[in-house]
Structure 1
Amino acid sequence: MDIHKTIPTAFFALFFLCLFSVSAQDISPQPDAAIIQQHVNVLAADGMKGRGTGSKGLKKAARYIKRHFKKYGLAPAGARKYGQPFTAKVKKAVVADSLRKANNIIGFLDNDAPYTIIIGAHYDHLGMGKQGSSKHPSPEGLIHNGADDNASGVAGLLELARYFSQNETSEPYNFLFIAFSAEELGLLGSKYYVEHPVIPLKNIHFMLNMDMIGRYNPERGIGVGGYGTSSEWPAIFEGIEAKVKFFTDNAGSGGSDHGSFYAKQIPVLFFHTGGHPDYHMPSDDADKLNAEAEAKIIDLEIRIIENAMKQGKLPFTEVKN
């Protein structure tokens, strides 16, 4: 045996094994603050003109979401590839084009499972201040970029799509990722979806919704609604190690898209970092996002989802007022 040849060979074999292990860890699809910030920068840019329902800006945002769904290998699940078209009615009566074409954007991750988890976030906002709901005293003509509301939630949607499509784990549930339109007009996109589901509602494990998750306040923490919508949520949350402070709330209804699913007796979770002075104002801009904290919020969501996938299909519980 030539020991001078054997030792270097063993050394280099060990070196390359360690290098491969480090590289594998580096490419694992963990929530990434830089990616989150980039999504919000694009979706809340002035060129999107506030993503008003039926606008060219919202169509640009839809194309952006579709590109990423395709990039992550999600199957088109809408009536028109990724799109689920419907007609939305603008609430403000003085608007001439009160009926506008809208699209939910839907991508499916098929794990050949009997039940499916829905991950949702709305991608529309207030546009140029003409469709109502702005808090500005003279909103018309002002771009409402909606970075927190709800480019932050769409960034979370895309990061969860990236994680579950690339984590090389065979999950026991399918995933349906939905970017809802016309939420700001009264949850119209999610209401349309639950009346025209692409997967039977009886086959839904639960629905997780993100709306305004970009302004984390460490004193308040991230709120998680819907805790009372299934008797199994307490067991699922037990032992969760979070990188952010969080608190739970039982309510399943409320002013975002999870409420449409709760109304159909589907367990829900709702993630929200709370209100702030820029809510529904032209000043809700991308540079105010706390992307590092949002990445930690998405990590919390992943842990909850993975715990929930250890359970059978969740039973629904109605929350008493």
Structure 2
Amino acid sequence: MNNKALFSFYIIVLHFLLCTPLSPVFAQIKQENLKKHIYYLADDNMKGRGTGSKQVKKAAKYIETYFKEYGLKPQGEKGYRQPFEAKVRRVVVEDSIRQADNVIGYLDNDAPYTIVVGAHYDHLGDGRQGGSRDSLGVGEIHNGADDNASGVAGLLELARHYSSNDIKEPFNLLFIAFGAEELGLVGSRYFTENPTVPLENIHWMLNMDMIGRYNPDNGLAVIGYGTSSKFPTIFKNITSEIKFNLSRDGNGGSDQTSFYKKDIPVLFFHTGGHDDYHKPGDDPEKIDYKALESILRLEIDVIDNSMKQDKMDFQWTN
């Protein structure tokens, strides 16, 4: 190749590099982040994150810090916070009325509709607020690694993914860490009664509660498949390294129920009960981090497919 031809070749290559748009850099779900979040939230120093405790307020601050880092817009009533009161009802305690917060961050894509992604961040404290399944363990710290530090870790990783994937999606995303779920879905119910985005503009709601103890014999439960006629299309051709089972019902013992009761399609991701459920032994080293990563990848596929649909319709399932 002579000098003139070589010069022309370099000009063509330079033009290609300058004029061809770069492919988006996709954020990857990182197991090290999942471990970091779960080990922080479910450490003994957090004393079980009971509603109204100093430690649950510290957990809320931790979540808020990451929402800020990811550039999410505050969408509470006081910055990222939506304060409310919750009452301990299962047992008699002196401080039955407790202050709590939902922590809410908004990825604003200037879109007409919004997908809600939620997980509760409270747990049982030392079991004295009620709910412990270990009568001999009342007074011991219930760390709640699976219930629900696992869901919060998922919430934070999905927030990081969608805020840093260099794509402006055709839907907004509202990330909510709910308070006082263990006292009766109080935080999610409060949000749906006092929404900070119009409920009629919500495309659908994804809830994560106890997604850290995957059992390959049982698989992952995906509850709420029947709450919209669009879900069969959304799940068509979706595959995963893990087994997942689709269930039609929209009700269930977690925060998606509050949205279902407001005629909003929902999906609830849940790896099922285990011997440490609501006991002091629900610790971070028992989480299946590889499966948790796979669950989040599955959720990303579901969310992305849902963005190819028009506004989701709602169906009652019972």
- TM-score w.r.t. structure 2 length? 0.93
Q: Which of 174, 180, 185 is 2:172 aligned to?
A: 174
Q: Which of 131, 135, 157 is 1:137 aligned to?
A: 135
- For the residues of structure 2 that align with 1:29 and 1:205, how far apart are their CA atoms? 23
> Contact 1:90 / 1:185 at 8 angstroms: preserved in 2?
yes
Q: Which of 238, 253, 260 is 2:236 aligned to?
A: 238
Matched, 1:87 2:97: no
Q: Deviations over 1:88-115 (max 9, x none)?
A: 0012342110000000000000000000
Q: Provide the identity percentage.
A: 58
- Aligned residue for 2:118, secondary structure, equals strand
- For the residues of structure 1 that align with 2:91 and 2:308, how far apart are their CA atoms? 48
> Contact 1:130 / 1:139 at 8 angstroms: preserved in 2?
no
> Contact 1:211 / 1:272 at 8 angstroms: preserved in 2?
yes
Q: Deviations over 1:48-105 (max 9, x none)?
A: 1100000011011001100100011100111111100000001234211000000000
* One-letter identity of the residue aligned with 1:125: H
Question: Structure 1 residue runs of 4+, over 6 Å off?
Answer: none
- For the residues of structure 2 that align with 1:178 and 1:152, how far apart are their CA atoms? 14
- For the residues of structure 1 that align with 2:141 and 2:247, how far apart are their CA atoms? 33
- For the residues of structure 2 that align with 1:161 and 1:37, how far apart are their CA atoms? 16
Aligned partner of 1:52 in structure 2 is 50
> Contact 1:92 / 1:98 at 8 angstroms: preserved in 2?
no
- Aligned residue for 2:136, secondary structure, equals coil
Aligned partner of 1:292 in structure 2 is 290
Aligned partner of 2:246 in structure 1 is 248
Aligned partner of 1:186 in structure 2 is 184
Aligned partner of 2:39 in structure 1 is 41
- For the residues of structure 1 that align with 2:136 and 2:176, how far apart are their CA atoms? 33
Paired residues, what number? 309
- For the residues of structure 2 that align with 1:41 and 1:304, how far apart are their CA atoms? 27
- For the residues of structure 2 that align with 1:308 and 1:289, how far apart are their CA atoms? 28
Aligned partner of 1:219 in structure 2 is 217
- For the residues of structure 2 that align with 1:40 and 1:91, how far apart are their CA atoms? 28
> Contact 2:76 / 2:103 at 8 angstroms: preserved in 1?
yes
> Contact 2:203 / 2:265 at 8 angstroms: preserved in 1?
yes
Q: Deviations over 1:217-261 (max 9, x none)?
A: 112111100000001111110100212111100010110000000
- Gaps (5+ residues) in structure 1? 18-23
Matched, 1:119 2:112: no
* One-letter identity of the residue aligned with 2:101: N
> Contact 2:224 / 2:265 at 8 angstroms: preserved in 1?
yes
- For the residues of structure 2 that align with 1:115 and 1:92, how far apart are their CA atoms? 38
Q: Which of 63, 66, 87 is 1:65 aligned to?
A: 63
- For the residues of structure 2 that align with 1:181 and 1:302, how far apart are their CA atoms? 24
Aligned partner of 1:301 in structure 2 is 299
Aligned partner of 1:21 in structure 2 is none
- Aligned CA-pair RMSD: 2.0
Aligned partner of 2:94 in structure 1 is 96
Question: Residues 5-24 of structure 1: matches in 2 within 5 Å?
Answer: none
> Contact 1:129 / 1:142 at 8 angstroms: preserved in 2?
yes
Matched, 1:76 2:74: yes
- TM-score w.r.t. structure 1 length? 0.92
Q: Deviations over 1:119-171 (max 9, x none)?
A: 00000000011100101122332100000000000001001101111111111
- Gaps (5+ residues) in structure 2? 18-22
- Aligned residue for 1:138, secondary structure, equals helix
